[in-house]
Amino acid sequence: MILKIITSNQGKFIEYREALSSFSIDAEHVRIPYDEIQTSELSEVVEKGMAALKEKGLRDFIIDDSGMFVDALKGFPGVYSSYVQKTIGNAGILKLMENVNEREANFQCCIGCNVNGKDIIVTGKCDGVILKEEKGTDGFGYDPIFSHDGKISLAEMPIPEKNGISHRGNAVRLLMKELEDIIGNAKY
Ligand code: ITT
């Protein structure tokens, strides 16, 4: 089985390819722009994105809307994570967190999957903290400043290890539980 991963983000695609391979699903990278509405819920962005893509005739695909939610910043950047990464970036988040002791944060990944005419939406989460400085050179986006264990950053973890604990890895595992009913051969 092949699923199209519709994203502009190469880093996400590489993670999906690795995660889905354990379930004997092939991933194909497809770059088709779709409107991401501005709303307070990742799942709403995904729902609307799926509808727009299906209208264009797309089938058997995954889209993903993710965000990093920092407790001390009242959930910011959250649904604005993409804009914030492009503007103030990791250095900007570290600046906002200067002298802040409460560094808890969580990453969320909402997957929308269309397969065999059915839509599945699941959200995976990873709790962690914002580090005091950027660490590591792997991964993408906020990986250098986010740590699941308070020690190493996501950018210091090989992809299979990151998938083992990450918001995206957790979302894929939730998706596979639901997909089992539809395609019948998923193992988890
Ligand atoms: P698409 O919407 O085209 O899939 P995007 O990069 O815009 O790609 P999102 O809106 O889902 O994706 O991501 C919001 C921001 O969060 C963006 O800056 C990403 O780089 C970042 N991000 C998403 N997943 C991440 C992860 O696993 N680790 C670190 N940063 C991540």
Closest atom, ligand 1, to C-alpha of 85: 18
Peptide bond into 77 cis (omega under 30): yes
Contact status, residue 172 vs residue 160, Cβ threshold 8 Å: no
Q: Can you read off the two tokens belonging to residue 120?
A: 């599945």
d(CA 106, CA 41): 15
pLDDT surpassing 60 at residue 188: no
The per-residue pLDDT for range 59-70, each reduced to its tens digit, is 999 999 999 999
CB atoms within 10 A of CB 130: 24
Average pLDDT rounded to a whole number, residues 79-94? 97
CA 137 to ligand 1 center in whole angstroms = 16
Q: At 40, is the pLDDT very low, low, confident or very high (cuts 50, 70, 90)?
A: confident
Instruction: Say whether 26 is catalytic.
Output: no
The pLDDT, as a whole number, for residue 184 is 67
pLDDT surpassing 50 at residue 186: no
Ramachandran assignment for 60, one of left (phi > 0), alpha (psi -120 to 50 degrees), beta (any other)? left
Flag the least confident range among 38-42, 147-151, 161-165, 182-186. 182-186
The per-residue pLDDT for range 131-176, each reduced to its tens digit, is 999 999 999 999 999 999 999 999 999 999 999 999 999 999 999 9
Average pLDDT rounded to a whole number, residues 18-45? 92
CA 22 to ligand 1 center in whole angstroms = 23
Using the Cα atoms of residue 37, residue 80, residue 167 and residue 69 in order, give the sign of their dihedral: negative
d(CA 69, CA 81): 8
Q: Tell me which DSSP letter residue 98 carries.
A: T
In this structure, the residues whose C-beta lies within 6 A of any atom of ligand 1 are: 7-9, 12, 64-67, 81-82, 85, 139-143, 154, 166, 168
Q: At 9, is the pLDDT very low, low, confident or very high (cuts 50, 70, 90)?
A: very high
Q: Which of 35, 60, 65, 71 is catalytic?
A: 65
Q: Tell me which DSSP letter residue 27 carries.
A: E
Average pLDDT rounded to a whole number, residues 90-106? 98
Element holding 155 (H helix, E strand)? none
